[in-house]
Structure 1
Amino acid sequence: MKRLVIASLFATTLLGAQAQSFTDTARVRSAEPQYETVDVPRNECTSQWINEDRRGAYQPQNRQQDRQYGGAIVGGLAGGVLGHQIGGGSGKDAATALGVVLGAITGDRLENRNQAPQYSQNSQYPQYGQYQDGQREVQRCRTVNDRQSRITGYRVTYEYRGQHYTTMMRGNPGNSLPVRVSVQPMERY
């Protein structure tokens, strides 16, 4: 029986010591956004034409070569002289003209035979007649990180009954903030 009385007194004490709570409103003094810096990855790609040499190695083609015209001039002069020697009468003029044209074409091809193909600036394809086997377009990409600032939350300072408090919140609460108030009796010693 004594144990039952002691247990009921203990339970009554516990129920009386339990805190009571209610909701009230506190005034917000400040809400400062808190930021974090994050790296956002993105791909950056470039295209480039490469030549395959006889060993199977690829070499980028970044240089732009100027076309040479000296061979066409010298070839045209030599062809004109040879054509003039061959023809006779009115055919002499035609032979000279034909010699100039054929000599110019031959001289141009000899002068520019080691030139790599050239590409127009507005097109990714080779110009007509300048494509060679062993060339292809290669795209190379790399990851670049862009830094961005993001709001992670707000450091909120608020006032409740003359006391100042600070807390972290996900969003900006505005001018007032609901607070839970807990009342609990204190035991005297």
Structure 2
Amino acid sequence: MNKSMLTGAVLGVSLATAGGVLASYGLLPGGAGANEAEVLEVTEVRETVEDPREVCKDVAVTRQKPVQDQHRVLGTVAGAVIGGVLGNQVGGGSGKKIATVAGAAAGGYAGNKTQEQMQAGDTYVTTETRCETVVDTREVVSGYEVTYSLDGEQDTIRMAYHPGDSIPVEEGKLVLSKES
């Protein structure tokens, strides 16, 4: 065999082997399939996330002081005494007795109501911490709706990351794990 014929045979076998390898990995038309799918469209999938948090603030609160004389006896007695003394100053004889009793009754009622108003106005102010839960909302991208073309077929898949212009394919299947 001559040298150029041997070189041609070795070169031919090498090219045929390389072509077979390329075809088997899908790198040539008519091979085992494409090695990537073409991305046609990518749409962000968004969702609303709620973040609850507690908000506290100090507020002034007006409270009524505890009442020591709930039946307002002191005001009633003081009013009755004063009313009786004033009623006794009016009239004479039996009219004086009626005026004293009427003055004592009216004074007792007036003293009771006066003490009631004084107790209602007897207040103090304190500071209290009041808290409430507030919910903040925000939108986040939760994935991507990807329309792609593989071997002339079009399909859609949801992915966790943006795939770019193409998606890798191995053994006719999409490779969906993102490599670092």
TM bucket by the smaller chain? Answer: 0.3 to 0.5
Q: Which has the larger radius of gyration?
A: 2
Greater helix content: 2
- TM value normalised by structure 2: 0.42
Higher relative contact order (CA closer than 8 Å, sequence separation 6+): 1
TM-score, structure 1 length as denominator?
A: 0.40
